[in-house]
Amino acid sequence: MTDAPDALTGVIGPVETLIDDTLRAEIDRWTALDPRVGEGVQALADHAGVGGKRIRAAFCLWARRGAAARAGIDLDEPDTVGLEVAAACEFLQTFALIHDDVMDDAARRRGATTLHVLHADKLVARGWLGEPRRFGEGVAMLLGDLAHVYADRLVRNGTPSTWAIWDEMRIEVNLGQYLDLRSAAAGDLDEDTARRVTTFKTALYTIVRPMQLGASLAGDDPELFALLDALGRPVGQAFQLRDDVLGVLGDPDVVGKPVGSDLREGKPTEVLAVARSLADPDGRRILDRVGSPDLTEDDLVEMVEVIRATGAFEEVARRIDELLAGSSARIEALGFPPGVEEALLALCRYVGARPY
């Protein structure tokens, strides 16, 4: 098991405090107007505070510190603007996960019941009118949108470059999710599709854009933005490859959601694409049923065993190592202080070796 590095755990407290303070003020404000409205913000707060790794915030804040040093800027403590943009990344992630859970009809997220299921159950428990699923999904989509609004509001003190990157990030994550849904429905499970989805939904959204957002607070530096892109894309690909493995082999109590869901939903992942390319005809026929609506738990177990037998997990581990191999040199090219370089390197290694 790989413990989270200090570069990650050291930023969780301040970022979560800002998230909590933001939502607490909103709960108080809207509850004073109408307790039923405040109840909605409270539901979002309960969801936003559960189990996030805050990886995006960490990459954002360390790039912020490095870029400030590179530009000769002394940061105040606390770094309010940096924390706001880092927290915005986490609010945007809350939005994305809530919507993703509705699209995937997921019952669990970060070890807790998903918002749409929670509110469907609430309608039944309180004897309210309406269809539980429609009510639960409607509430979840609205609260996800609310998280998006809070994310946008926290970027308000950024530079013009910050807003340009923020706009691109929001477009990419939505189009990446569209491509993910479309590919699963169409059965496009090839490696090229899996990597394209990974680029939009993970490499850019999780690593590159958060770092560029943090760096943009020190000013418009196209050279630095390009260097951060060169660092973040392979790291983001490694992050997603690890996530693909966790989605098949992980312990649900650690991963925080049911494993095997990617196979049940027919998501285009690289580990599946590798396994399909390596499988014998019998194994390929089993894997061709990925995404079928009638899959049983025994079917999922059989698919995992086929993937294991192909050596796909070992191949993915090799690719992760290969993707991370140049991280140190790419970090050195940024011109950041040694302490920031060490923190970024620790984060890069962690995302490729998160525990099962």
- What pLDDT sits at residue 120? 97
Asked if residue 97 belongs to a domain, the reply is yes
pTM, entire model: 0.93
- pLDDT tens, position by position, 7-30: 999 989 999 999 999 999 999 999
> Phi, psi (5° rounding) for residue 62?
-70, -35
Question: Which of 101, 113, 47 minimizes the C-alpha distance to 265?
Answer: 101
Question: Which of 18, 110, 2 minimizes the C-alpha distance to 61?
Answer: 18
**Structural domain of 56:** 6-351
CATH of the domain at 170: 1.10.600.10
How many angstroms separate the CA atoms of 202 and 26, rounded? 30
Look-up: residue for tokens 């000013």? 219
Asked if residue 320 belongs to a domain, the reply is yes
Residues comprising the chain, all counted: 356
Whole-angstrom CA distances from 82 to 55, 85, 96, 149, 155 are 15, 5, 21, 18, 9
What residue spans of the chain are helical by DSSP H?
A: 6-33, 35-48, 55-70, 80-104, 115-125, 132-154, 160-186, 191-198, 209-216, 222-249, 252-255, 261-265, 270-278, 281-287, 297-310, 312-324, 327-332, 338-351
- What pLDDT sits at residue 256? 53
Asked if residue 156 belongs to a domain, the reply is yes
- pLDDT tens, position by position, 295-326: 999 999 999 999 999 999 999 999 999 999 99
- What pLDDT sits at residue 118? 96
Asked if residue 356 belongs to a domain, the reply is no
Asked if residue 154 belongs to a domain, the reply is yes
Asked if residue 122 belongs to a domain, the reply is yes
Whole-angstrom CA distances from 35 to 13, 40, 162, 188 are 29, 9, 36, 47
Whether the CA torsion 262, 265, 270, 273 is positive or negative: it is: positive
Run of H or E residues at 112: strand 112-113
Average pLDDT score over the chain: 93
Residues of the chain with pLDDT under 50: 1, 356
- What pLDDT sits at residue 1? 43
Asked if residue 200 belongs to a domain, the reply is yes
Asked if residue 142 belongs to a domain, the reply is yes
- What pLDDT sits at residue 14? 94
> Phi, psi (5° rounding) for residue 109?
-150, 130
Question: Which of 14, 91, 347 minimizes the C-alpha distance to 207?
Answer: 347
Number of domains present in the structure of the chain: 1
Judged by DSSP in three states, 138 sits in helix
Burial of 342 from C-beta contacts in 10 A (0-12 / 13-18 / 19+):
middle
- What pLDDT sits at residue 171? 97
Question: Which of 306, 305, 267, 269 minimizes the C-alpha distance to 285?
Answer: 306
For helices 55-70 and 6-33, give the axis angle rounded to 10 degrees: 110
User: Do residues 249 and 259 lie in contact, with contact meaning Cβ atoms separated by under 8 Å?
Assistant: yes
